[in-house]
Amino acid sequence: MPDANPTPSPDPEIVASWKQAAAARAAGLVQAGMAVGLGHGSTAVAIVPHLAKRWRGGELDGAIFVPAAHFMAAALRRHGLPVGSLDDWPALDLGLDGADEIDAQLDCIKGGGGALLYEKIVGQAAERFVLVADAGKLSPRLGTRHAVPVEVTPFALAPTKDFLVAIGGHPALRLRPDGDPMRTQRGNVILDCAFGPLADPAGLAAVLDARAGVAGHGLFIGLAALAIVAGPDGVRELARPAG
Ligand SMILES: O=C(CO)[C@H](O)[C@H](O)COP(=O)(O)O
C-alpha cells in the first residue's frame, strides 16, 4: 500500500537529469572486450548514448551488448552498437539495469516496463549486476511504493489471482492503454500485486518462485552488487552490504 503521507515527488525534469547522471556514470563501468547485459526502462536506455560515444572513441573495442528487451535492442542498433544474445554470450561480465524500488540491501522491485523475466535472466547471467537509478527509487522497505509485478502464464491467471489474494496481496491485471491485457515478450500477462511494505521480501520471492503458473516476478533478491544512484547530492555508488 502507498504511504499515507508520501514525500512529494521532485520535478520530473529534475528526476530525468538524475537518471542521465546515473546513466553516464554506469556507462563508465564498461570496458573493452566485455559482454554487457542491458535491461529496460528509461534509465537503462539512457546509458546507450554514453556507450555509443565511448564506442566511437575506440574505448570499447570488442565489447558486445546483450539486451533484455526489444526496445533496448532497437536503441543499441540505432546507436550502432553490436548486439549479441545469451545463446552466444551465456556468461556476461556486467549487467546494467534500472529499478522501481531499491532497499538498503540492494534488493529491488523491477518490472515497471514489463520485461521482468528477461531482465532477471540477464541479471543472473552477469558476473556483476549493477542497478542504475534516480534517488527517488530508494526505499526503506520494498513494497512501500510499488506493487510486485507477477508475470503469469495466461492459462493460470484465475487461480494465480486467488493464490495472490490468499497470501495477502491485492493483484491487478496490467492493461495496455486500449484496455486489453498487456502481454510480455513471452505472451504472458502481468498481475501488479500490492502487498504493502514487505517484512520478508526474500520469503515472498521464494513463495512466488514455487508457484506453478508464475513465470517470473519483480523481486530481485541478492542479485545486485552495486547501485549507482543520482540525486540532490550528486551521483553515489552504493555497494551491497556484507552478510
Ligand atoms: O524494471 C524495469 C522495466 O521492466 C525498469 O528498470 C524500471 O521500471 C525502472 O524504469 P525507469 O528507469 O524508466 O524509471
Question: What is the chain's pLDDT, residue by residue, as a tens digit (243 residues)?
Answer: 344 444 557 899 999 999 999 999 999 999 999 999 999 999 999 999 999 999 999 999 999 999 999 999 999 999 999 999 999 999 999 999 999 999 999 999 999 999 999 999 999 999 999 999 999 999 999 999 999 999 999 999 999 999 999 999 999 999 999 999 999 999 999 999 999 999 999 999 999 999 999 999 999 999 999 999 999 999 999 999 997
Structure-block grid coordinates of residue 154: 495466461
Q: Which atom of ligand 1 is nearest to the CA of 19?
A: 12
Alpha-carbon torsion, ordered 154, 158, 159, 164, to 10 deg: 100
* Residues 235/26, Cβ–Cβ less than 8 Å: no
Our answer on whether the CB atom of 93 is closer than 6 Å to any ligand 1 atom is no
Tell me: do 56 and 17 sit in the same domain. Answer: yes
Residue 8 pLDDT: 57
* Number of structural domains in the chain: 2
Residue located nearest, by CA, to atom 8 of ligand 1: 112
50 dihedral zone (left: phi>0; alpha: psi -120 to 50; beta): alpha
Residues 47 and 126 in one domain: yes
Collect all residues with Cβ–Cβ distance below 8 Å to 220 and sequence separation of at least 6: 99, 107, 108, 109, 110, 120, 123
**Angstrom distance (rounded) from CA 75 to CA 82:** 11
Assess whether the C-beta atom of 99 lies below 6 angstroms from ligand 1.
Answer: yes
Which residue puts its alpha carbon closest to atom 7 of ligand 1?
A: 99
Residues 224 and 210 in one domain: no
- Structural domain for 207, as ranges: 148-215
Q: Tell me: do 94 and 134 sit in the same domain.
A: yes
Position in ligand 1 atom list of the atom nearest CA 40: 3
Residue nearest atom 2 of ligand 1, based on CA coordinates: 111
Q: Is 145 in the pocket of ligand 1 (CB under 6 A)?
A: no
**Which of 14, 38, 42 best tests ligand 1's pocket when mutated (most atoms within 8 Å of CB)?**
42
Q: Does a structural domain hold residue 157?
A: yes
Are residues 89 and 34 part of one domain? yes
Q: Clarify whether residues 22 and 55 are in a common domain.
A: yes
Paired strand residues for 150: 191, 217
Same domain (yes/no): 48, 155: no
- Shared domain for 24 and 110, answered yes or no, is yes
Q: What is the pLDDT of residue 39?
A: 98
Q: Map grid coordinates 546515473 to a residue.
A: 22
Q: Does residue 54 sit within a domain? A: yes
> In terms of domains, do 122 and 224 share one?
yes
Does ligand 1 have an atom closer than 6 angstroms to the CB of 67?
A: no
CATH of the domain at 51: 3.40.50.1360
Indicate whether residue 39 lines ligand 1 (CB < 6 A): yes
Asked if residue 115 has its Cβ within 6 Å of ligand 1, the reply is yes
In a domain, 2, yes or no: no
pLDDT value at residue 4: 42
All three cell numbers of 83: 548486439
For the entire predicted model, the pTM comes to: 0.94
Residue 1, domain member (yes or no): no
Residues 169, 93: one domain? no
Burial (0-12, 13-18, 19+ Cβ within 10 Å), 196: middle
Name the packing angle between helices 42-56 and 70-78 (round to 10°). 30
Do residues 41 and 158 both lie within one domain? no
Task: Return the best residue to mutate from 15, 17, 43 for the ligand 1 pocket (most ligand atoms within 8 A of CB).
Answer: 43
What pairing do the DSSP bridges indicate for beta strands 92-97 and 170-173?
Answer: unpaired
Does residue 180 share a domain with residue 90? Answer: no
